[in-house]
């Protein structure tokens, strides 16, 4: 595999640095908890994992990349809901502090490793990313779209069978939202994955949160 610096789209270093600072700050404020990765609570965090993992075939062993892994909460979910599954797990995060916390938390778990960076350094059967496109802070809309596109490109390139990501859905008329969050209709990135990546895309919605999940499978 090429070095990380060779496969990251140019011009996005500042975006990656801002994201890393933000989540390092949430970890310092709240610790290795759902609040520490900017989620409201564990039930909604787990509900997102349910949707993302609909991509995976648990009847056979597989490898899984978890982009934006935080402190490795997905591992706890896998141990809880799929205790017999054989999953070769790699968590990747932009925040060195997050990766350090994950390594401490899971240091005795087999088939689990962590890496710092914006993309996975390996090719796995599947890739997942939960919430990594939500908090754009003061990044311009155009640059954030470049970040999303570059990330989807790399997830596709490093996933043999497919990848899954989630996005916040647009607010309806009269609703107010928190500044600095990225919301987009499902069709925007569905079309991108179909037309640019040549993938089959399934949209999962209606699971009680104002968001949706894209399951992106290779043809």
To which residue do tokens 């609703």 refer? 175
The pair of structure tokens assigned to 123 is 């090719």
Cα–Cα distance for residue pair 121/123, rounded to 1 Å:
7
Q: How far is CA 127 from the centre of its chain?
A: 8
Cα–Cα distance for residue pair 111/125, rounded to 1 Å:
14
Total tally of structural domains belonging to the chain: 1
SS3 161: strand
Q: How far is CA 14 from CA 143, 212, 214, in A?
A: 10, 27, 26
Q: Find the domain containing 8 and state its range.
A: 4-218
Q: What is the pTM of this model?
A: 0.93
Structure confidence by residue, pLDDT tens digits, 18-62: 999 999 999 999 999 999 998 889 999 999 999 999 999 999 999
| Extended strands (E) in 117-171 | 124-129, 159-168
DSSP state of 97: H
Residue 123: give its domain's CATH number: 3.40.50.150
Structure confidence by residue, pLDDT tens digits, 138-147: 999 999 999 9
């Amino acid at each position: 595999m090429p070095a990380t610096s060779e496969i990251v789209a140019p011009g996005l270093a500042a975006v990656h640095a801002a994201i890393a600072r933000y989540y390092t700050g949430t970890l310092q404020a709240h610790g290795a908890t759902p609040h520490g990765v900017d989620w409201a609570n564990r039930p909604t965090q787990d509900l997102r994992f349910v949707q993302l993992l609909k991509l995976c075939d648990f009847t056979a062993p597989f490898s899984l990349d978890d982009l934006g892994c935080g402190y490795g909460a997905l591992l706890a979910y896998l141990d809880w809901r799929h205790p017999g599954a054989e999953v070769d797990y790699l968590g990747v995060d932009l925040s060195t502090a997050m990766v350090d916390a994950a390594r401490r938390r899971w240091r005795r778990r087999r088939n689990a490793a962590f890496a710092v960076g914006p993309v996975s350094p390996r090719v796995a059967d599947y890739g997942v990313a939960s919430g990594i496109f939500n908090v754009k802070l003061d990044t311009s809309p155009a640059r954030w779209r470049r970040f999303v596109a570059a990330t989807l490109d790399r997830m596709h390139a490093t996933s043999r069978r497919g990848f899954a990501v989630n996005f916040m859905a647009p607010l309806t008329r009269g609703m107010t939202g928190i500044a600095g969050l990225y919301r987009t209709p499902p069709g925007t990135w569905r079309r991108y994955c179909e037309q640019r990546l040549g993938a089959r895309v399934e949209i999962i919605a209606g699971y009680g949160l104002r968001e949706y999940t894209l399951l992106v499978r290779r043809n």
